Amino acid sequence: MAQANAKKLTPIQREYQALAKAYEPSRPLLQNFIRAFVVGGAISVLGQGLEDMFIHYFGFTQKTAGNPTVAILILLAALATGLGVFDKLASFAGAGTAVPVTGFANSIVSTALEHKSEGYVLGVGGNMFKLAGSVLVFGVVAAFFIGIIRSLPGLGG
Amino acid sequence: MLIGHQSWKFSTRPQILSTAVVGGPFEAQGPLAEDFDILHGDLLLQQKSWEQAEQMLLHEACDKAIEKAHLTKDRIQFFLSGDLMNQIISSSFAARTLASPYLGIFGACSTSMEGLALAALLVDKQCARYVMTATASHNASAEKQYRYPTEYGSQKPPTAQWTVTAGGAAVVGAVEAAANEAVDGSVIDPIAKDEETKGRLAVTSATVGRVVDMGLTDPFNMGAAMAPAALATIEAHFRDLDVGEEHYDLVVTGDLGKVGAKILGELMVRHGIHIPDDRYADCGLLIYGDNPAVWSGGSGCGCSASVTYGHLFRELRRGRWKRILVVATGALLSPLSFQQGESIPCIAHAVAIERDGDTP
């Protein structure tokens, strides 16, 4: 695809693109990695703490404690989105907030908020999975194939 | 009058009777805050949606410009306006209230100078006595349409730009129209009476840009996509008008940002145009100064409109410069076109503005 496009470019376009590339400031990768590691790690530590709390104080087992933990993280992320602080944290942390379940919650809540002006049915209902939809679709598709692989004789199960 | 291939020279020197700019809370914290007529502390401007807030910006800018020109709405013969929203709704809705004959225009972020060039042309050719041109952009409505929801958390690359929340309007009128009416007493000379609009500004020429597409596809690097369009228009302007770089005290581009302005500098050197650093500026860099929160700089229809109609015209009237050339740049993409892998076509329109004498 990229090669097909490159072929269509005129020499002037190619020359300009090389010039533009030279002037493009690079993304601060190391800084982004460190921030993502610290914030993403902190969210994971919080999740672990919540899980331990559910196991030790509320009688959940290792297996069942996952659901209430995720629910609380989603609730916190949704609340932070509604209060308008999540986007600021996320622009600092990048993948640190996007990869955990908090990013998924934010993508749904932010779209729902944004499209509330178009009404509850066509606006909120019709748009809230606009960003999260592809995560669901490809998550389910991937789970389907992993499930098939797991059920193959001699593997897993 | 057509001059060269793509420029107009306005021999009757259409006058800028008034300009007005309205900004949002973030602009109010910027270095140009004092150049705004109205600043809002609320990003929603007490409206129900971002789209309505953008309409409000346009609306207030128009009302204020008419007021400052000592005119009434019904005396505006034509209204030229455009914005970034789908089907330019902000402009059309503002025109609905204004009730003047209306022409909707679209040039993305170059709309401000597209409108001013056309307004000056109408006045110069005696097709109208008073024409108003306006444009506006709103950070949240642009994010919503072109990128992600306002509250969605994402990290942007350093080449990204911040869409300016601002509206700007200008009333252009013929010199003799204003003078004649002052004689018969029906209306006072709109220019002379207002302390703030003391220096007369005339639109002297304009160059209509061609669409330039260098095949760039990154919507987070519009400065680099637009720089060649700015160069093409600047080159065409100097060629058509047959003037040198020293003719203008300031050449200012619309919203190239840090990245685009640097590239344009390099391109101009390569094409033999030598504009010294102190005679070149970019509205996208002026509006927020060195704030790292806006990455490469400001952008949007409201960027060139608010900086030109506010800051630049004020300084021009004060006598800091005699002649300026404003080259508003626009990236003519849509969210659909870039998702389908299309490159970003860009355009730039140049308008030359000159201060006439000193106090009239």
Domain boundaries, chain B: 2-193, 205-356
Residue B79 pLDDT exceeds 80 = yes
The alpha-carbon gap from B317 to the nearest alpha carbon of chain A, in Å, equals: 36
Pairwise CA distance, residues A122 & A120, whole Å: 6
The alpha-carbon gap from B227 to the nearest alpha carbon of chain A, in Å, equals: 9
Averaged over A133-140, what is the pLDDT?
A: 94
Pairwise CA distance, residues A37 & B215, whole Å: 36
- Cβ of A9 and B215 within 8 Å? yes
Query: Tell me: the pLDDT tens digits for B41-69?
Result: 999 999 999 999 999 999 999 999 999 99
B-chain residue closest to A22, CA distance = B263
Q: Residue B224 is nearest to which of A9, A24, A103, comparing CB atoms?
A: A24
Averaged over A63-73, what is the pLDDT?
A: 95
Q: How confident is the model at residue A6 (pLDDT cuts 50, 70, 90)?
A: low
Contacts of B259 in chain A (CB under 8 A): 23-25
Q: What is the pLDDT of residue A154?
A: 74
Averaged over A45-69, what is the pLDDT?
A: 95
Are the beta carbons of B150 and B144 closer than 8 angstroms? yes
The DSSP line for B283-341 is: HHHHTTTT-GGGBT-EESHHHHHHIIIIIIHHHHHHTS-SEEEEEEEEE---HHHHHTT
* Summary mean pLDDT of chain B: 92
Pairwise CA distance, residues B126 & B319, whole Å: 29
- Cβ of B259 and A82 within 8 Å? no
Q: What is the pLDDT of residue B175?
A: 87
Q: What is the pLDDT of residue A7?
A: 61
B-chain residue closest to A81, CA distance = B151
Q: Residue B153 is nearest to which of A12, A98, A113, comparing CB atoms?
A: A98
Averaged over B335-360, what is the pLDDT?
A: 88
Residue with tokens 């637009």: B226
Query: Tell me: the pLDDT tens digits for B292-315?
Result: 999 999 999 999 999 999 999 999
Contacts of A107 in chain B (CB under 8 A): 152
Handedness of CA B123, B101, B309, B228 (dihedral sign): negative
Burial of A136 (0-12, 13-18, 19+ CB in 10 A): exposed
Query: Tell me: the pLDDT tens digits for B319-334?
Result: 999 999 999 999 999 9
Averaged over A6-22, what is the pLDDT?
A: 90
For chain B, the first-to-last Cα distance in angstroms comes to 26
For chain A, the residues whose C-beta falls within 8 A of a C-beta of chain B are 1, 5, 8-9, 12-13, 16-17, 19-20, 23-28, 32, 81-82, 84, 86-95, 97-98, 103, 106-107, 109-111, 113-115, 117, 131
Averaged over A32-41, what is the pLDDT?
A: 96
* Amino acid (1-letter code) at residue B322: K
- Cβ of A131 and B221 within 8 Å? no
Contacts of A131 in chain B (CB under 8 A): 148-149, 152
The domain over range B2-193 is classified in CATH as 3.50.50.60: no
Percent of chain A with pLDDT strictly greater than 90: 89
Residue B183 pLDDT exceeds 90 = no
Q: How confident is the model at residue A155 (pLDDT cuts 50, 70, 90)?
A: low
Residue A73 pLDDT exceeds 70 = yes
- Cβ of A82 and B266 within 8 Å? no
Are the beta carbons of B121 and B169 closer than 8 angstroms? no
Averaged over B235-244, what is the pLDDT?
A: 96
Rounded to 5 degrees, what angle do the CA atoms B191, B195, B199 make?
55
Q: How confident is the model at residue B198 (pLDDT cuts 50, 70, 90)?
A: low
- Cβ of A20 and B216 within 8 Å? yes
Residue B194 pLDDT exceeds 90 = no
Query: Tell me: the pLDDT tens digits for B261-273?
Result: 999 999 999 999 9
Residue B180 pLDDT exceeds 90 = no
Contacts of A20 in chain B (CB under 8 A): 214, 216, 221, 224, 227, 263
Q: How confident is the model at residue B199 (pLDDT cuts 50, 70, 90)?
A: confident
Residue spans per domain, chain A = 34-129
- Cβ of B154 and A86 within 8 Å? no
The CATH number that domain B205-356 falls under is: 3.40.47.40
The alpha-carbon gap from A38 to the nearest alpha carbon of chain B, in Å, equals: 16
Q: What is the pLDDT of residue B176?
A: 72
Q: Which of B155, B156, B346 to mutate to test the interface with A (most CBs of A within 10 A)?
A: B155
Closest CA to A146 of A133, A155, A154: A155
Q: Residue B149 is nearest to which of A23, A94, A114, comparing CB atoms?
A: A114
Residue B118 pLDDT exceeds 50 = yes
Q: What is the pLDDT of residue B357?
A: 67
Residue with the bigger pLDDT between B198 and B216: it is B216
The alpha-carbon gap from A154 to the nearest alpha carbon of chain B, in Å, equals: 43
Are the beta carbons of B298 and B258 closer than 8 angstroms? no
Q: What is the pLDDT of residue A128?
A: 94
- Cβ of B158 and A27 within 8 Å? yes
Q: What is the pLDDT of residue B177?
A: 61
The DSSP line for B32-83 is: TGGG-SEE-SSTTTT-SSHHHHHHHHHHHHHHHHHHHTT--GGG--EEEEEE
B-chain residue closest to A20, CA distance = B224
